[in-house]
Amino acid sequence: MLTWLTFAVAWAVGVFPGKYLFHLLLMTIFVSVGFWLVFRLDLNLRFKDKDLTAEQMAISLIPPLYALFYLDNPQARSSILLIIFIPLVYGILGLRRKQFVRIGLLNFLFCMLLIVGLWSLRPAYVDLRIEMVQLTALLVVIGQLIVIGGYISELRSRLRKNNVQLEEALETIKEMASTDELTGLANRRALLEKIELEFSRCSRGGPGFSVCLVDVDFFKRINDSYGHHAGDEVLRELAQTMKACLRKIDCVGRFGGEEFLLVLPQTSLEGAVLKSERLREVVEGLRFDSIEAGLVVTISIGVAQYDCKENFEQTIARADTALYAAKNRGRNRTVSELDIEASSAPA
């Protein structure tokens, strides 16, 4: 519309015919509505550049060049020709260097065609000396814009690359902050965040959850007999085994030392006990032949279900009590909080 207003001033001072001003208005509206429909109907998604920057710049040249052809005053034409630089300025921020060069050369070609057309069809309104100077100045300005545009494009490219590297670094830091380095499982901090999340869900009326404390039986004996590297190998193997046995919504992490914590959303105490027993049996079936032929490692598990009347620290404490009972009852077993209550009830 700014282009149309400029030519409206030219019409007001008598150097531009009114009927072509009306044509220019129709062309401007047609181009604007056309691109609005393209974006409204998501047709732009078919192109690599979803903003259609180059296409908008090229098509936006047509209405002013059409109007310039019918502008009677050569000096006025030289001044209004500056309008074609407006799309180039916007393109600096949206195009890569090669695209910007192509659009700049296209602008210059269109201007040359305009002069050739005027010289052929309306020679009375053309001063070739002025037009040659004008084209030379136009080429110089477009060349400078191409240089500046290329420099800005390079800066934008570097910025995008730096942003990608920054996002990757932040993701790595976030992962390191929530991951146990040895086992690759969630660390204690991430586990507590998961429990806090489930606690919030339950407080809003969501389904309950259960927790299972898992401890490796006689782990100190493994370290003392085979070395700490063997103990690390055992922990890594158990971590991957537990992870493979759980659902996607479950969370398992290293709670400390040789102790692991399982957070089982939407799981009752009975369901948690069944899952713990399956896990215990799978671990018992593992063989650590790389450490010693036929070496078997077992685990003890304490299970508790979250009670909406308590905080999650109390739930973990009850699971720890059940784990302690499993150790006292001979290890390689699962004990739930209900088992503790039943054994402590009077006969």
- Tokens read off for 221: 């004996």
The string of pLDDT tens digits covering residues 41-56 is 988 888 887 888 888 8
Which amino acid type is present at position 218? Answer: F
pLDDT in tens, the chain (347 residues): 677 788 888 788 787 888 888 888 898 889 889 989 988 898 888 888 788 888 888 888 888 888 888 887 777 777 777 777 777 777 777 777 777 778 888 888 888 888 888 888 888 877 778 778 877 887 887 777 777 777 777 787 788 888 888 888 777 677 667 888 899 899 988 888 888 888 888 777 767 889 999 999 999 999 999 999 999 999 999 999 999 999 989 999 999 889 999 999 989 999 999 999 999 999 999 999 999 998 999 999 999 998 777 788 888 899 999 999 999 999 999 999 988 766 654 44
pTM for this predicted structure: 0.55
Q: List Cβ neighbours of 42 (8 Å cut-off, separation of 6 or more).
A: none
DSSP state of 311: -
DSSP state of 125: G
Checking 315-318 for CB contacts under 8 A at 24+ apart, the result is 315/195, 315/211, 316/195, 316/211, 316/213, 316/261
What sign does the dihedral 185-284-208-340 (CA atoms) show? negative
Catalytic residue among 258, 270, 292, 313: 258
Buried b (16+ CB within 10 A) or exposed e, 140-169: ebbeebbeebbeebeeeeeeeeeeeeeeee
Q: How would you class 313 by CB atoms within 10 Å of its CB: exposed for 0-12, middle for 13-18, buried for 19 or more?
A: exposed
CA 195 to mean position of chain CA atoms: 26
Question: Is 258 noted as a catalytic residue in this protein?
Answer: yes
The rounded distance, in Å, linking the Cα atoms of 180 and 329 is 30
Question: Which of 294, 107, 315 shows the shortest CA–CA distance to 210?
Answer: 315
